[in-house]
């Protein structure tokens, strides 16, 4: 598998082509557009044999892939921002119906005011829907997470969303290795729909129709429990993936990366910055720069990158953070009227007997550039901002 | 690591030029990255795009604030945008203009300014004012950051769907700019 230099969207589209879904349906929205345009072109050029269904809206696209998935087909869709919001009702249904739909969210801010640029507010709007949610740092990770998303989804009968930062990843060029079609087939196998849940005209049945108060709660609890089971599955699958695909060592995952999260930097770090998505790359350079300076030599910093956001890897996070005293959560979303969603998740996972200064920094909304300088300032400010939510302009 | 910032206007192919730099550097065997600052190009609006070239994998995603090279595709931007912001004493500036470097008012040493009339070359050889590839010939010559062979190969790859005639004209125009 040769290394190529590709646009992030092209890298994802080529990976999806090799995954060979039977049905692709999407409605174009910036910055997801290049992915689905590429997939449409592969189809029209005769390079792919999936059914490409043009939809009249994101609501329709999600419904089309939901229907195809319910009939047992491997499916793919992609969206961003308002498109994901319009899909929301179907997004919840897909999880409740236990359909292994895989979707790319090219992360973008939400209206109003209109923004086309990157943040994570769109994904956070559906974080409670029951989907597996992965976040990619770079093209290579986005590619791997798409293959892993299908593996996880089809193994657990749950939907999976791969989040990649709009423009920052979708519209950037960098070297990447696309997983070979034969290896993808070996890794994923054929899709095996849950037979008891399969829509079949020869044996009509209803799925997800109605649950009385006597049953609804247990059904939702079962969904929660099954989603949580991915935490035990993903590290093993990520290791299998690395073994099968990482012939060129350049594409190998970093040490400290278990598929759920990655810890980067000295183990004895005093302050750790927790991030998701492409911000991790900038954060790694920022902590390296900080650790070379006098402040960093005295109080070294490290990066915790959350790769699997739902289910939330509580145990892995506590293990990775060891005995740290200060955590700066740096996130591109906010639960308006409360705090950043990632900070809230970490606070709820943190045991009360372990003292921790936790500071929440909201950055990069609507595409505001997050510089290394800003991140170094955040490392310095964090100890003085316990339990504070700060917007960094 | 070398950092390159490109300035142009929407419709001039600024983002494509940044991508061609990254592709050429990759073809030279180096690590490379390119990305736009504005994803939606409005025709005529000032646009920035960025490229990085390195011998180790590139992780940072921040915009380019301390450019080693600044490329200006449209000289009218010299009066509209702070082109030189973040420039250091060795930053090279490549400008598409008929004027000589001495006539350019920028807070960088004159010896670091290179001018090329890429528009004229584009009109003569390509037949249209599409100078984003042309100015890269001057970039390759002035900076040595990408080889001419890799730059030409990058154009051939990127323009493969535009047909041989347009590709050949672009290659000829790049060579012309490289000679100057």
- Domains A3-244 and A261-391 in one fold: yes
| Cα within 13 Å of Cα(A121), Cβ side | 24
Q: How many other C-beta atoms can be found within 10 angstroms of the C-beta atom of residue A56?
A: 8
Bridge partners, residue A152, by sequence: none
Mean pLDDT of B47-71: 97
Q: Is the dihedral of CA B79, B83, B89, B94 positive or negative?
A: negative
Confidence of residue B41 (pLDDT cuts 50, 70, 90): low
Q: What is the mean pLDDT of the segment spanning B159-180?
A: 93
List, edge to edge, every strand of the sheet that includes A389-391: A261-264, A301-306, A271-275, A326-331, A357-362, A389-391
Distance CA A335, CA A125 (A): 9
Beta bridge partners of A328: A273, A359
Contact A306, A340 (CB under 8 A): no
pLDDT tier at A251 (50, 70, 90 boundaries)? low
Q: Which two tokens stand for residue A349?
A: 């996972």
Peptide bond into A113 cis (omega under 30): yes
pLDDT band at B4 (very low <50, low <70, confident <90, very high): very high
Question: Distance, in angstroms, between A281 CA and closest chain B CA?
Answer: 4
Name beta bridge partners: B69. Answer: B4, B92
Listed residue (A207, A199, A144) closest to A176, CA to CA: A144
Averaged pLDDT for residues A91-114: 97
User: The dihedral of CA A232, A84, A365, A143: what is its sign?
Assistant: positive
- Among A31, A174, A278, the residue with its CB nearest the CB of B32 is A174
Q: What is the pLDDT of residues B110-163, one digit of tens each?
A: 999 999 999 999 999 999 999 999 999 999 999 999 999 999 999 999 999 899
pLDDT at B19 over 80: yes
Smallest Cα distance from A285 to chain B, Å: 6
Spell out the alpha helix ranges (H) of chain B: 14-27, 118-121, 134-143, 148-158, 164-179
Query: CB neighbours (10 Å) of residue A389?
Result: 16
Most distant pair of Cα atoms in chain B: their distance: 42
pLDDT tens string A359-389:
999 999 999 999 999 999 999 999 999 999 9
**Chain A residues with beta carbon closer than 8 angstroms to that of B19:** 7, 173
Kindly tell me if the per-residue pLDDT of A20 is higher than 70: yes
pLDDT tens per residue across span B94-108: 999 999 999 999 999
Phi, psi angle pair for A140, to nearest 5°: -65, -40
Residues of A within 8 A of B39 (CB-CB) are 30-31, 116-117, 166-167, 171
In chain A, residues with a C-beta closer than 8 Å to the C-beta of B63 are 369, 371
CB-CB contact of A392 with A361 (8 Å): yes
DSSP state of A142: H
Question: What is the pLDDT confidence band of residue A96, given thresholds at 50, 70 and 90?
Answer: very high
What's the pLDDT score for residue A282?
A: 98
Which candidate from B22, B36, B60 shows the least CB-CB separation from A285? Answer: B60
d(CA A41, CA A33): 12
What is the distance between the alpha carbons of residues A204 and A74, in angstroms, rounded to a whole number?
21
pLDDT of residue A389: 98
Choice among A38-42, A98-102, A246-250, B163-167 with the minimum mean pLDDT: A246-250
Please name the residue of chain A whose CA is at the shortest distance from the CA of residue B50: A172
Residue A249 predicted with pLDDT over 70: no
Chain A residues close to B35, C-beta within 8 Å: 167-168, 171-173
**A261-391 maps to CATH 3.90.45.10:** no
Structural domain spans, chain A = 3-244, 261-391
| Residue from B22, B39, B151 whose CB has the most chain A CBs within 10 Å, to mutate | B39
Closest-CA distance of chain B to residue A343, Å: 23
pLDDT at B180: 79
Instruction: Judge residue A51's burial from the number of C-beta atoms within 10 Å of its C-beta, 0-12 exposed, 13-18 middle, 19 or more buried.
Output: middle
CATH code linked to domain A3-244: 3.40.50.970
Q: How far is A332 from chain B (nearest CA, A)?
A: 14
Residue A196's pLDDT band (cuts 50, 70, 90): confident
In this complex, is the C-beta atom of A107 within 8 Å of any C-beta atom belonging to chain B? no
Question: Hey, is the C-beta of A167 within 8 angstroms of any chain B C-beta?
Answer: yes
A31 prior amide bond cis, ω within 30: yes
For A254, A260, B35, the CA distances from A145, given in Å and listed in that order, are 15, 11, 22
Q: What residue has token string 């921040």?
A: B62
Q: What is the rounded CA–CA span in Å between residue A362 and residue B23?
A: 34
Q: Is A361 helix (H, G, I), strand (E, B) or coil?
A: strand
Residue B52 binned pLDDT confidence (cut-offs 50, 70, 90): very high
d(CA A208, CA A197): 10
For residue A170, the chain B residue with the least C-alpha distance is B35
Kindly tell me the burial class for residue B163, based on how many C-beta atoms sit within 10 Å of its own C-beta (0-12, 13-18, 19 or more).
exposed
- pLDDT higher than threshold 70 for residue A270: yes
Distance CA A146, CA A188 (A): 11
Whole-number average pLDDT of chain A: 95
Rounded distance between C-alpha atoms, residue A365 and residue A385, angstroms:
20
pLDDT of residue A373: 98
Please tell me what DSSP assigns to residue A196.
G
C-alpha closest to that of B3 among B81, B90, B76: B90
Average confidence (pLDDT) over A260-283: 97
Q: Does A10 reach chain B within 8 Å, measured CB to CB? A: no
Torsion sign (Cα): A374, A379, A380, A381: positive
* Residue in B93, B38, B180, B129 with CA at minimum distance from that of residue A115: B38
A173: nearest CB among B34, B40, B63? B34
Q: Which of A134, A148, A143 shows the shortest CA–CA distance to A175? A: A143
Q: Token digits for A9? A: 């969207």
d(CA A242, CA A227): 23
Alpha-carbon gap, residue A367 to B127, rounded angstroms: 37
pLDDT at A192 over 90: no
Q: Do B31 and A7 touch (CB under 8 A)?
A: no
Q: Is A377 on the interface with B (CB under 8 A)?
A: no
Complete DSSP assignment for A149-207: HHHHHHHHT--EEEEEETTTTTT-EEEEEPPPHHHHHHHH-S----GGG---TTS----
Q: Widest CA span of chain A, in angstroms?
A: 72
pLDDT of A320 reads: 95
Of A5, A285, A371, the CB nearest to B23: A5
Evaluate if residue A252 carries a pLDDT over 80. no
Looking at residue A205, its pLDDT comes to 87
3-state secondary structure of A321: helix
Domain range annotation of chain B: 2-179
| Predicted complex ipTM | 0.96
CATH class of B2-179: alpha beta
The structure tokens listed for B51 are: 């490229």
Q: Do B36 and A30 touch (CB under 8 A)?
A: no
pLDDT at B40: 56
Indicate the SS3 state at residue A181. helix
Cβ atoms < 10 Å from Cβ of A25: 26
- Count of other CB atoms within 10 angstroms of residue A197: 15
């Amino acid at each position: 598998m040769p290394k190529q230099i590709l646009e992030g969207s092209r890298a994802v589209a080529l990976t999806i082509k090799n995954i060979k879904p039977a049905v692709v349906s999407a409605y174009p929205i910036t910055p997801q557009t290049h992915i689905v345009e590429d997939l449409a072109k592969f189809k029209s050029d005769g390079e792919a044999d999936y059914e490409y269904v043009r939809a009249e809206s994101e609501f329709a696209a999600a419904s089309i892939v939901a229907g195809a998935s319910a009939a047992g087909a491997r499916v793919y869709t992609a969206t961003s921002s308002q498109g994901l919001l319009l899909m929301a009702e179907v997004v919840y249904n897909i999880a409740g119906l236990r359909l292994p739909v895989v979707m790319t969210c090219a992360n973008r801010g939400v209206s109003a005011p209109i923004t086309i640029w990157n943040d994570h507010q769109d994904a956070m709007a559906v974080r409670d829907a029951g989907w597996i949610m992965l976040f990619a740092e770079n093209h290579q990770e986005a590619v791997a997470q798409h293959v892993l998303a299908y593996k996880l989804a089809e193994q657990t009968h749950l939907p999976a969303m791969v989040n990649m930062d709009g423009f920052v990843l979708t519209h950037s060029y960098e070297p990447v290795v696309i997983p070979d079609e034969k290896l993808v087939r070996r890794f994923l196998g054929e899709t095996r729909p849950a037979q008891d849940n399969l829509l079949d005209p020869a044996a009509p049945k209803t799925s997800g129709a109605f649950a009385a108060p006597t049953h609804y709660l247990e059904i939702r609890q079962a969904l929660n429990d099954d989603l949580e089971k991915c935490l035990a599955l993903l590290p093993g699958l990520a290791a299998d993936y690395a073994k099968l695909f990482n012939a060129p060592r350049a594409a190998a995952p970093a040490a400290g990366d278990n598929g759920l999260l990655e810890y980067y930097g000295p183990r004895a770090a005093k302050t750790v910055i927790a991030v998701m998505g492409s911000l991790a790359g900038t954060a790694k350079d920022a902590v390296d720069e900080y650790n070379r300076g006098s402040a960093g030599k005295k109080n070294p910093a490290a990066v915790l990158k959350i790769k699997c956001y739902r289910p939330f890897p509580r145990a892995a996070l506590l293990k990775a953070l060891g005995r740290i005293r200060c955590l700066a959560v740096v996130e591109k979303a906010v639960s308006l009227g409360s705090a950043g969603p990632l900070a809230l998740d970490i606070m709820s996972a943190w045991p009360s007997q372990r003292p921790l200064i936790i500071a929440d920094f909201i950055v990069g909304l609507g595409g505001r550039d997050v510089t290394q300088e800003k991140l170094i300032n955040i490392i310095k400010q964090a100890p003085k901002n316990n339990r504070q939510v700060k917007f960094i302009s | 690591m070398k950092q390159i910032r490109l300035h142009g206007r929407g419709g001039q192919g600024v983002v494509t030029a940044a991508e061609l730099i990254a592709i050429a550097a990759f073809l030279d065997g180096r690590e490379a990255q390119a990305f736009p600052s504005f994803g939606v190009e409005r025709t005529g609006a000032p646009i920035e795009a960025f490229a990085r070239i390195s011998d180790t994998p590139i992780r940072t995603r921040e915009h380019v604030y301390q450019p080693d090279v600044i490329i200006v595709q449209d000289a009218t931007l010299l009066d509209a945008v702070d082109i030189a912001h973040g420039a250091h004493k060795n930053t090279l500036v490549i400008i598409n203009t008929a004027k000589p470097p001495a006539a350019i008012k920028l807070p960088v040493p004159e010896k670091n300014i290179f001018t090329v009339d890429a528009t004229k070359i584009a009109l003569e050889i390509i037949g249209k004012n599409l100078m984003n590839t042309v100015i890269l010939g001057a970039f390759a010559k002035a900076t040595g950051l990408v080889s001419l062979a890799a730059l030409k190969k990058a154009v051939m790859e990127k323009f493969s769907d535009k047909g041989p005639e347009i590709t050949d004209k672009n290659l000829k125009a790049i060579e012309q700019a490289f000679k100057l």
